[in-house]
Amino acid sequence: MPVSLRYVIKRIFYLFLVVLGVITIVFIATRIIPAHPEFLWAGPHATEEQLQEARNELRLNDPIWVQYVYFIENMLTFNFGISWSSRHPISQDILSALPATLELAISGFIIGILIGLFLGIRAAVKYGSIIDKFVRSLSISGSAIPVFWLALIFQLILAIKLGILPVGYRIDPNAEILEGFQPITGFYTIDTLIEGKFDLFLDVLKRLLMPALVVSVYPLCLTARMTRSLALETLQEDYVRNMRSWGVKDNVIIRKYVIKAVIPPLIASLGLSFGYALVGSFLVEVIFAWNGLGMYVVHALANYDFPAVIISVMTVAIIYSSINTVVDILHAYLDPRIRL
């Protein structure tokens, strides 16, 4: 049964409210922080007259509510302003940094979902075995491990002790210059294949693997835990137990019945998983020197570049809320009871 237009409009309206709420909270937070961005805008050796001119230009002398209204008006006209630190259009800076973050988050998300789905089903089939106990322990402990600590452990073991994977940067800087690599989409895995530079593609994959594994931990644990629970319920159904008694192989039952029963409820958690993967990639970027949106926000915060911080957070909020909206609509399409 198709999803009603009313339900879709309601979800989009909620998306708008969430994004507006995030913008409002971040805007107020950046305005109450005791900082003097006029020094950044006018320069370290600015005179008092130049500082006053900078305050007027940045509207720092206006009340907060006036600054907020002016900011919202600019947002409605897609005028995202100029970065106070880089002096570049903020939209240009974000478009340059966002592909790196999305590439990392999507890679970690896919790895986590695939491995979590496999482990969850195996744990359900081998209920009570060592595999089941291992998956349960992993799903609980993995969800509680801080991302930054896990990233440091991965660096220590895989890069420093074993020397298996390189650490730092999205691509070898020397090879990038020698090969004349020019990003097209910003997704280096795609750009290197488009340009036919397979040696750089392998280098990009090696550098992507370790941070992607760190990002994948939470989606993996959540997917494994939910898949195990849903698969156990399906395996205890009478029709499944009858098929097992008739000698139908577990692989056939899993492929034709268990996976089909697990996927629709699991879709509801995919938006949350990707949201955590996206936010978790911010910390991972800082530790792995990954020049994405996370690094951009860190530099903006260090320089009190409040417009860049607000637009960056707004971008993440829009992506996160949009994915959750699409997931909700898809879930409602697959399970009409959600709309009741």
* 224 in Cβ contact with 116 (< 8 Å): yes
Tally of domains in the chain: 1
Q: What is the CATH number of the domain that holds 221?
A: 1.10.3720
Buried b (16+ CB within 10 A) or exposed e, 192-214: beebebeebbebbeebbbbbbbb
Indicate whether 151 belongs to any domain: yes
Residue 119, token pair as written in the block: 């482990």
Rounded CA separation 281/287 (Å):
10
Give the pLDDT score at 305: 82
Confidence of residue 40 (pLDDT cuts 50, 70, 90): low
Tens digit of pLDDT for each residue in 248-284?
777 777 777 778 778 777 777 777 778 778 888 888 8
Residue 29: CB atoms within 10 Å: 13
Domain assignment present for 105? yes
Q: Looking at the domain assignment, is residue 101 inside a domain?
A: yes
The answer as to whether 20 is a domain residue is no
Whether residue 244 lies inside any domain: the answer is: yes
Confidence of residue 334 (pLDDT cuts 50, 70, 90): low
Tokens, residue 38: 């006029």
User: Does residue 254 belong to any structural domain of this protein?
Assistant: yes
The number of beta carbons lying within 10 Å of the beta carbon of residue 315 is 21
Within-domain flag for 200: yes
Task: Give the tens place of pLDDT for each residue, 281-322.
Answer: 888 888 888 888 888 888 888 888 888 888 888 888 888 888
Asked if residue 4 is part of any domain, the answer here is no
Tell how many helices (H) and how many strands (E) occur in the chain.
Answer: 15, 0
Domain that holds residue 180: 96-304+330-339
